[in-house]
Amino acid sequence: MSRTTVAAIHLDALRRNLARIRALSPGAKVMAVVKADGYGHGLERVARALAEADAFGVAAIADGQRLRAAGHRQRIVVLSGPDQAADLAELRRLHLDAVIHHDSQLTWLQADRDPRPLRVWLKIDTGMHRLGFAPERTRAVLEQLQAMPSIERDIVLMTHFAASDEFDKATTTDQIARFEAATRDLPGERCLSNSAGILGWPAARGDWVRAGGLLYGLSVIAGKNGSDLGFAPAMSLSTRLIAINRLQRGERIGYAGTYECPEDMNVGVIAIGYGDGYPRSAPAGTPVLVGNARAAIVGRVSMDLATIDLRNAPSACVGDRVLLWGRGLPVEQIADHAGTIAYDLTCGMTKRVLFVED
């Protein structure tokens, strides 16, 4: 019998989350960011659920290949553009949009003689200092691109916020001002806001918004769950209770005996570990749900198994389903305990987890 760790993907939640993003961004087109295999939810199934999005955002041409093979015909934007000159032919063959952010890419485009039109987005570095041209170069680079015969003239101007989740700081206000100054009187649609920008910066809505974490019901605001922001979790991760052991006060559990039983107690063993993508860093006290009862990790998470305190679930039985995160237990809570973020957890599921659509 196969392992019983299951990631249920809630397609209805994805669709509802897209609808809420549209409601928060009236007049703007929505790019659904589906990189990292749809934030760990599965690229093709996510794209199918989000088929009403105006575009998909991906990190690699390979993702564009998968989406085109699945039959998706809307715009697909490769967010880091070509990595080498040879990529230009594949971008054109698949009708992918390319984000242009570096002089090396301009050199490849200038030397390219392929007559097929390529649609591009021009990225401006307003403060993230990762990818993009300096603001003062915006006009010159735009004119250079527009002069290339194989580049479509309708070029989207974009930037990326570094701290849009910090609503009480001036970082994003300063970035918006730099972008507006750099693009003033220039043609082209504008794209500024990521998920947190959609929530907190209506002045930066522009013509396009790029929604990532919110589509999956993941919070982009520290101290908040996705549900606090009106979004539904798109993944529920669960496994089964495969053993219950009665341990005595003072006995230690698992590798290195990191947890000592404070009293006589039932300890459950569940069929999940870091080999499935559950975080090894999850300490004692990290919550799980056994039915409707809240239990907690005890001892060290191992490759295949973890142990849980069943004192709050006295009626638990072998075979019971145990929820690790999802509907009823926000993934952000587990991420907080494990010292990471929700994105890291959903993107970290391994191949031995069974994915099912719900």
What is the set of active-site residues? 35, 255
Pairing of strands 306-309, 293-298: antiparallel
- C-alpha closest to that of 290 among 319, 331, 254: 319
Distance CA(196)–CA(212), nearest Å, equals 9
- C-alpha closest to that of 33 among 89, 80, 70: 80
Burial category of 315 from C-beta neighbours within 10 Å (exposed 0-12, middle 13-18, buried 19 and up): exposed
List C-alpha distances in Å: 214 to 9, 80, 84, 233.
15, 21, 32, 9
Distance CA(40)–CA(261), nearest Å, equals 35
Distance CA(121)–CA(98), nearest Å, equals 6
Distance CA(24)–CA(263), nearest Å, equals 51
Locate 281 and state its tokens.
């860093």
List C-alpha distances in Å: 270 to 7, 248, 301.
15, 20, 10
Distance CA(299)–CA(288), nearest Å, equals 14
SS3 for 325?
strand
Contact 18, 27 (CB under 8 A): no
Burial category of 292 from C-beta neighbours within 10 Å (exposed 0-12, middle 13-18, buried 19 and up): exposed
Tokens 């009626």 map to which residue?
315
Distance CA(62)–CA(78), nearest Å, equals 10
Contact 172, 204 (CB under 8 A): yes
Tokens 């575009």 map to which residue?
55
